[in-house]
Structure 1
Amino acid sequence: MKFENKPIFHKLVLSGAFITAIVLRLLRLGAMPLTDMEASIALQALAVGQKTETIFGGHMTYVGLTGIDFFLLHTGNFLARFWPALFGALIVFVPFLFRNYIGNLPANILSFILALSPEMVGLSRMIGSPMIAFVLLLLTLGLINQKKPILSGVSFALALMGGSGFWTGIVLVGLSLLTAKAVLQIPFEGFFGEFFKHKDDRLKFLIAFGLTIVLVATGFSLATEGLSGVFSGAVDFVRGFGMPYIEPFVLKPLALAAYSLPAVIFGLWGGIQGLIKRSKPDIFLLITALAGFIYLLLYPNASPTDIIWVSLPLWTLSARVIAAVWRWPEENQFVMIITSVMVVIVFAFTLLAMRSLVSPTINQEARLTTFIALAGGFVLMIALVLLVTYGWSEDVALPGLLMGLSVVVLLGMLSLTVRTTSISLERTHELWHPQESSLSTQWLKVSLDRVLEWNKRTTMPIEIAVADFDTPGMRWVLRDYENVVFVPYVPPSSQPGILISDILTQPEISNSYRGQDLVWSQTPNWQGMTPFQYLSWLMTRDTPETTREIIFWVRTDLMPDEQFAQ
């Protein structure tokens, strides 16, 4: 018996994939400030933890669970993003639950791909993304496939409260199943009918579903009014049909190329191969990917975050085609390894040439030379594969090519994942929510803490006023400070110790204050970018941006020099 056919092997692989997924999703999770979109949802959870009134949205799974965390523990960026990251890591179990359809080896490969892929990691580290609903809905279907009524009931309840992404999934899965039934004559009624035909299983499912709804939506009874937000995701989904399309329109397909290009290439290869062989699982996956892509383009409120509905079936097709094609040759293993190494070297050379090609400082003559070198790299790789094919055999060339490409894809995915998330120290602009700005909160907090430290012996509390700058991000940053007020303007009779205002606003009381301008946010100018700038962004993640500044005002009597003079 081969080791890959032993159950212990698959469990070890799954454990390794889960550990990898957890590490990539939790590492430096709280390093980046919350965006306004993230902060608006985190503030709902904070209201649950503090037992204060708020208006609940469609992310009740997140709000309920995070609210409990905020009630028990100290609030922070890491804790605010913890549950999306944890649920995102659970996606590695989805292939395992469907291994009877996609195969054991493809399931193992797919689990590691989902642990590493940039879109899966990036969206798991973000509040408000469709990842919670996406993963939990797939886990529900997988647990139904494995006939686990209690776990599937819990998962289905959490998915329902996971946001509008749940209803996106219901629509796409339903359309895919109906299309597969019409085209392939695949009856899907038995999939659910077999599960629900036993009364005990139905009862277990419903009890688990109901208890989860009540417990999580109320934050374990911290906010009973949270039950009103259980079906808010459906309202948001329907309302999305009346929303304007994201501009420029190219951002959504560009996101697919930016984060899931290997899935597109290998997935289409697997889909075409499945059509030729009339493989029903492959054709169903291709139908699902096509449905997701049509939704991405046509649904007005679809954002680049929704590429996961396209990339998952494509990654599954990729795993199946790699498992089917790659075989370790019985002879000439050394030649295969050399072929793989050469493929990696050629791709590294090609990548360097592409980065040079998009450099804004390169002149026309150097760009032409670089383009020729780039074309030469592709020709060299094709010549290498043909040489090995006809010099030795196709049984050596194809595995060598696939092994080399696999190493390139693996390293590329890991590099892109680290670079496009807060795992790296580099701040980049990503496509997930094009209208969102990245916030710079560090210097504001440093300035606040310094002033409060200078005046820690003062008996009177220092009031912090925020004038005409009431944003979720600002409220989240100031959540732990006392005596904070948000006002549309500051009247002349008011004398707050600290005043925060937009740089375009000049308060009437500014004569008795000292001010310092601070960068608050940077917004990428996607609409003003040229095709060459988009190509450059794919390689360097550099974009033209608009900066928004604030002024940090301090009343003069609170400054150290004034206190010393007195």
Structure 2
Amino acid sequence: MTELTSETSTEKQNTYKLTIADGLFILVGMFAAIMRLTELSKIPVSAAEAQEALAVWQFWQPGTAELAISSPAYFTFTAMLTPILGVSDSVMRLVPALFGVGLVLLPWLLQKRLSTVGALITAVLLTVSPMAAAIARTAGGDSIALFAALLLLIAWINGRDSRNGRWFYAAMIALALGLTSSPLFYSALLTMGVAWLGQHFAAPHLFSDNEEGENWKLETDTVRSGLIIGGILLALISSFFLLSLGNVGAAASILGDWVQQFGGSSLLENIMLPFLAIVRYETALLAIGVVAILWAAWHSQPLPVFCIYWLLGIILLWLTQPGIITHAALIMLPLYLLIGAFSGAIIGSHIGWYSWLFTSGLLVLWAFIVANSARFLRLMSAGGTEFSHLWLAFFALAIILTTIFFALNWDTRVTYQGVLLSVLVMLLFYNWGTAWWLSHQAANDPRESWVNEGTNASILILADVIQDLSWKLNTSDMDVHILSTIDTPTLRWYLRQYQNIEFGKTAPSDTQSNIVITPAEAITTLSESYMGSDYLISNHAPTEKPFTRSPILDTLRWWAFHQSPIIPAQERVILWVKLEQTQ
């Protein structure tokens, strides 16, 4: 018989072995990285992204004034990477993408509250979330804000549950990240405060009311060390490690920008904007979220009820800050945590063979419904009147409901597991496609409700043409003289390497510039001595939508097949080149 000494006991406690759940989390992280890190430069940067990218690029240019920034955290981390990785669209989006992957993995730290299955499902839902993927692939501080908000919540909960002071350090790190990220973090902070008040004054409390729970106090040294760590990190991130002290003011202005969002236009369209974005992109939130809310209200478990209070706080924020579409992305945090807790409670820690067989059968029927519904929608969009596919879909739905009714009398647990798993699989399949479409294909298409203005890919062709002309005229890729009467952040970004570029309001008739860029609608006399070509540089949301007989059918056709009668407003430019230089 082996005697277990204190040393061997400590060694066993410090030894951590990977489990199947850990392997699944790693697999989920790999899929999240594929969604967020691949093809980062496929879509040109938007005007807002170009403004942030220009500030980073110009910081490293000698003899140039620094540009104003909106996210010190994004600026600091991206500016650290550019001397190593260079300057490109991909590098400018790399930091938000990495924080987006980190956001997906954070539920792993909340397994004690969500259960292992619940935490895994939450991570999977965040992986395929279209809005989370779109934010993670956008240059700016919103992705950092979401990561910091969820990390702050997890550190607060785990710190109180484990009574471990190290979580206080994690909370201070999250706070420093969030305060230097974007106004979205202040929205998360306010709404989490509302949720804390809700659970504090109404049952159930998020923490137990015993001596080791609610009344647990941090040691003075821990608080002092945590505040010092948070303060130092806040100062370093705000000032790019003291290399750009002017950015400290930008960190303070984030709060001012957030306050200015209150009292915006109270038109119904602006108030409904976040909700419409959820309807369009976050199908899982609507399909399972409502059921999860009812389950949480009925069972009154601490964390799910806290998520309900958090959700109510975000809805109140919608009403006071109308028209802010990023609030739709904020609501996915409490709802996905709630769905994870609900799924963990329903599925449990064991799934039997009967549950897998029942799930497989339901998946076949769900796929049959989706295929016939899509076929019906395609025929209707082409002017057809054939309803057989719709009746087949209804017939399959009737079979599903009848099967569930009889299965409930046979085995309730197997029925609940099969229904939930089958619905989750179908929603994950749909959300993955929607997330890939929004983040990889349509991030610059203003026909999507998430996009208001997008840079057209033709601007990349414009930049390549100018570079070829520069080599032809000056045997250099940066010495050609350019005059542009249109000044946009995207144009400045893609023409940043040209030292002899000037931006003005008009082009003089006697200009000697090798290349002139003017708006397509501008009236000039350049046609006498220049040759021009037309380029589309950006698309905008249309001011007037065309009249259609069935707007609902057009909307469904856009969602399912990405076909729409709406034509975005276009911004075009003319690239003028001297005739004598083209010969």
1:546 partner amino acid? A
Aligned partner of 1:50 in structure 2 is: 61
CA contact (8 A) 2:134 2:438 kept: yes
* Residue 197 of structure 1, CA deviation: 2.9
* Residue 486 of structure 1, CA deviation: 1.1
* Residue 379 of structure 1, CA deviation: 2.1
Shifted more, 514-523 versus 452-461: the winner is: 452-461
With over 3 angstroms needed to count, the CA separation of the structure-2 counterparts of 1:396 and 1:225, relative to structure 1, is closer
With over 3 angstroms needed to count, the CA separation of the structure-2 counterparts of 1:59 and 1:36, relative to structure 1, is same
Q: Distance in 2 between matches of 1:245 and 1:33?
A: 32
Q: Distance in 2 between matches of 1:92 and 1:365?
A: 44
* Residue 283 of structure 1, CA deviation: 1.7
Aligned partner of 2:328 in structure 1 is: 307
CA contact (8 A) 2:446 2:452 kept: no
Structure 1 length as normaliser, TM-score?
A: 0.88
* Residue 270 of structure 1, CA deviation: 1.9
Query: 1:555 and 2:578 equivalent?
Result: yes
Query: 1:420 and 2:438 equivalent?
Result: yes
* Residue 188 of structure 1, CA deviation: 7.0
Aligned partner of 1:363 in structure 2 is: 383
Aligned partner of 2:123 in structure 1 is: 111
Aligned partner of 1:442 in structure 2 is: 460
Aligned partner of 1:27 in structure 2 is: 38
CA contact (8 A) 1:289 1:311 kept: no
Q: Distance in 2 between matches of 1:338 and 1:189?
A: 40
Aligned partner of 1:349 in structure 2 is: 368
Query: 1:339 and 2:362 equivalent?
Result: no
Structure 2 length as normaliser, TM-score?
A: 0.85
Aligned partner of 2:306 in structure 1 is: 284
Which aligned pairs between 1:361-510 and structure 2 lie closer than 5 A?
361-366=381-386, 368-386=387-405, 388-389=407-408, 393-422=411-440, 429=446, 431=448, 433-440=450-457, 441-457=459-475, 461-467=479-485, 469-510=486-527
CA contact (8 A) 1:49 1:222 kept: no
For 1:50, what is the secondary structure of its paired residue? coil
Residues 441-500 of structure 1 deviation map (CA, whole Å, 9 limit, x = unaligned): 222122212212322448994211111x11111111111233111111111221211111
With over 3 angstroms needed to count, the CA separation of the structure-2 counterparts of 1:272 and 1:472, relative to structure 1, is same
CA contact (8 A) 1:420 1:430 kept: no
Shifted more, 126-135 versus 395-404: the winner is: 395-404
Shifted more, 381-390 versus 87-96: the winner is: 381-390
Which aligned pairs between 1:202-241 and structure 2 lie closer than 5 A?
202-241=223-262
Q: Distance in 2 between matches of 1:481 and 1:246?
A: 44
CA contact (8 A) 1:266 1:321 kept: no
Shifted more, 450-459 versus 65-74: the winner is: 450-459
Which aligned pairs between 1:265-276 and structure 2 lie closer than 5 A?
265-276=287-298
Query: Please, what is the CA RMSD of the aligned residues?
Result: 3.1
* Residue 35 of structure 1, CA deviation: 0.6
With over 3 angstroms needed to count, the CA separation of the structure-2 counterparts of 1:137 and 1:113, relative to structure 1, is same
With over 3 angstroms needed to count, the CA separation of the structure-2 counterparts of 1:185 and 1:248, relative to structure 1, is closer
With over 3 angstroms needed to count, the CA separation of the structure-2 counterparts of 1:121 and 1:508, relative to structure 1, is same
For 1:255, what is the secondary structure of its paired residue? helix
CA contact (8 A) 2:296 2:305 kept: yes
For 1:252, what is the secondary structure of its paired residue? helix
Shifted more, 23-32 versus 319-328: the winner is: 319-328
1:280 partner amino acid? P
Count of residues in Structure 1 that have an aligned counterpart in Structure 2: 549
List gaps (5 residues or longer) in structure 1. none
2:47 partner amino acid? D
Aligned partner of 1:89 in structure 2 is: 101
Q: Distance in 1 between matches of 2:93 and 2:200?
A: 39
With over 3 angstroms needed to count, the CA separation of the structure-2 counterparts of 1:328 and 1:59, relative to structure 1, is closer
For 2:282, what is the secondary structure of its paired residue? helix
Q: Distance in 2 between matches of 1:183 and 1:316?
A: 20
For 2:507, what is the secondary structure of its paired residue? coil
Aligned partner of 1:74 in structure 2 is: 86
List gaps (5 residues or longer) in structure 2. 1-15, 160-164
Q: Distance in 2 between matches of 1:195 and 1:38?
A: 45
With over 3 angstroms needed to count, the CA separation of the structure-2 counterparts of 1:379 and 1:46, relative to structure 1, is same
Which aligned pairs between 1:157-176 and structure 2 lie closer than 5 A?
157-176=176-195
CA contact (8 A) 1:181 1:188 kept: no
* Residue 195 of structure 1, CA deviation: 8.1
Q: Distance in 2 between matches of 1:221 and 1:55?
A: 17
With over 3 angstroms needed to count, the CA separation of the structure-2 counterparts of 1:87 and 1:521, relative to structure 1, is same
With over 3 angstroms needed to count, the CA separation of the structure-2 counterparts of 1:361 and 1:105, relative to structure 1, is closer
Shifted more, 153-162 versus 392-401: the winner is: 392-401
Q: Distance in 1 between matches of 2:234 and 2:358?
A: 55
Q: Distance in 1 between matches of 2:372 and 2:478?
A: 63
For 1:224, what is the secondary structure of its paired residue? coil
Q: Distance in 1 between matches of 2:182 and 2:447?
A: 22
* Residue 60 of structure 1, CA deviation: 0.9
1:515 partner amino acid? G
Query: 1:16 and 2:27 equivalent?
Result: yes
Residues 172-216 of structure 1 deviation map (CA, whole Å, 9 limit, x = unaligned): 000111122222262779999978732221222222222222322
Aligned partner of 1:294 in structure 2 is: 316
Q: Distance in 1 between matches of 2:478 and 2:88?
A: 28
Shifted more, 504-513 versus 245-254: the winner is: 245-254
CA contact (8 A) 2:73 2:180 kept: yes
Q: Distance in 2 between matches of 1:226 and 1:312?
A: 29
Shifted more, 65-74 versus 168-177: the winner is: 65-74
1:53 partner amino acid? A
CA contact (8 A) 2:470 2:478 kept: no
CA contact (8 A) 2:47 2:489 kept: yes
Identity %, equivalent residues? 20
